[in-house]
Amino acid sequence: GGRGMRRVLSEEEAKEAYERATSEALSAFGNGAMFVEKLVEKGRNIEVQIMGDNYGDIVHLYERDCTVQRRHQKVVEIAPAPFLTPETRQKILDDAVKLARHVGYQNAGTVEFLVDNEDNHYFIEVNARLQVEHTVTEEITGRDLVKTQIAVRQGSHLTDLGLTQESLASKCEGTSIQLRVT
């Protein structure tokens, strides 16, 4: 959650920021390896909930906006993300499923993206588990994700569980918001 991250706006800042970030990461995680990523200022943090079974089927269960954060920890989660254009939403959902399909993903998970003010989206990471905020997705889809994840791990096909992209499209409704007290 933000440990080892540094914002670098000029070449002069790079060396000190690198040394501080690697030191902090090494201390916190036992690994000082560093990734350099594009800075997306005032970006929106969008997460796509996915589910993959053992037979190659992957579905998305739409997205959440987790932009409101305090010290890199999510404070407000909203599903579906309120400020995405339909075109940007579909691109993000398609990319999340494409990524999961490419790696043969099998489980519940979350694919995270940043969206800039021009609606470009950038992949951040995959969390190979349910996250605390999965409940907002359950509210808009009517799916119990814990129960679904257990059934998938026990060998059920998503289709046997009635979980197809088409069935989800007809059941996604409303808005759900989760707030955390910090």
**Which tens digits make up the pLDDT trace of 136-175?**
999 999 999 999 999 999 999 999 999 999 999 877 889 9
What is the pLDDT, as a whole number, of residue 3? 67
For 7-16, the CB contacts below 8 A with 24+ separation are: 7/39, 8/39, 9/39
What is the pLDDT, as a whole number, of residue 79? 94
6 is catalytic: no
Q: Is the dihedral of CA 166, 171, 175, 177 positive or negative?
A: negative
Residue of 89, 129, 143, 153 with catalytic role:
129
Q: At what angle do helices 145-153 and 134-141 cross, to 10 degrees?
A: 100
Tokens encoding 115: 């969206």
* Better pLDDT: 47 or 180: 47
Percentage of residues in the chain having pLDDT higher than 70 = 98
Residue 48 has pLDDT above 90, yes or no: yes
